[in-house]
Structure 1
């Protein structure tokens, strides 16, 4: 199996390399004497060691910075500690940040790079499915606050994204399945072949060690969807909002659950919620609504959420980045791979869609 490359266009184009040996593509960014802050989560010792060995082989100067796992690492306190480390090590604009780990690590590493000296280069090394198909690609970086997820951030495209499928095969099954929610989202909004591939063999789709070629195909297709959208709209002014399909409700769930839910699990429920919303406003037909539930359930993703939480969820949705003033805006589907926007739906319809998923 060869390494496949997806190019993300725009003002600062870069490549996403997916396949065996993808880490070798870090070499061109590891010039002699260059300081490299390696922001990594715990439990990635083997990948971090390979990164360090490669950097040293090119006579770069790695500086390791372990951060808390998952959303616990995306805080202002952790960010400040990384800024301090960069200052102590004398990092300049010619130096580099590398993010190793899941989506939270690449979000954080990207924001550190975006803000240090108003922007230094970053290379993302996602070791999770969610990281490679969502967080590491597209240049959106950020941290969370008590008021919501990713409310503080910056657009800062990476210089490269590198992912070896061998890393994905070491993931806990529940974490890998969670990442599939973002892959399936891309199938609904732009590439229905993704849905066909998963529906043809859900068991293989949930275990990259069973069929590595299928895993790479799904990753490359999802990355291509995101690359096509991002190249046309880096700063989420219009088209890029379609990548947030299902995310308004998902981010509300994450906030209400104090980020104890996996992101992909919340997205899965969010996809069903917005499909219910679109169906109840006459936009989406019953068959495509049912397909949301069936394909998500086939890989073991949740399609429902707890009852009795509507007031909290509604408040959280009001803080969504797509909201304009007090007006809620949702990405919906008019048909398969036909995204549209729904603005200010009636409150009783919002509540009815919640009742349908709770």
Structure 2
């Protein structure tokens, strides 16, 4: 898996598959599917032995256990400087304190110091705003990021789960004032969740931001673990639980069946087809993948060892094509062909618009 991309308009080289560690730990919100440190260690070790260098966590994951476990595993491996260690802030860690959550300067600095302590390091390679709080001015966030870079506590800054206009405002403000730029925006993206394509992809390409995708297998929908069972669902995942309250939509079944067909034709597991498709979409720099075991991680890491043929890719694109909101339908290649100047080449790539800004690092 020794394939790396430059993250946005920066010199930072990151693995095309990042290791998500939301399940490292057995406390807090994510405890239901959490892993003990003993279970997490072979997953971490296998990832770095494969050449992976991009590690993703957050202060909120398993009530801080994810960071603590990672800190100990990194110390034991002695490979801190080889990793692009990423954490995130926004969510509350003290419900009784109004300034212990959100994206304000006070919480940003406190949250970073707490993450550094839990991780046992004096800097983060990448620090992300976890989600838009709808309150804090973007200028305050960007200036605080810049101060943290100047203080040597972080190397790069980025965003996660924010509106496209917010990311564009942050990047434009940073550029206009000579401040630390945003090198990535982390968003949900998969064959069953392509909503970022009309706005985020061209925004990121225009402003030099690399997109990192979380949930690239659609929360497990694209792994092959679910099958139709009459009017319900069968399989080993949580959605097949009668009390889950999460039925699989008909449009998602169409995607699942297309992925299954392509996977069968290629002799590959469905999860590899889903990951390969997402990783090779325009604008995407890296996918955040998780695993419940080293064996499952091995399967995921092999997702980039093949090429999806053009006809199979077209089948996946067609089955998963999102309904484009009215305004954005005016920007599709089909519409643009009516208004383009004579001789002007127009991309035929639906809703993705152009080739990615980010390039493979040598």
Q: TM bucket by the smaller chain?
A: 0.3 to 0.5
Between Structure 1 and Structure 2, which shows a larger proportion of helix residues?
1
TM-score, normalising length from structure 1? Answer: 0.35
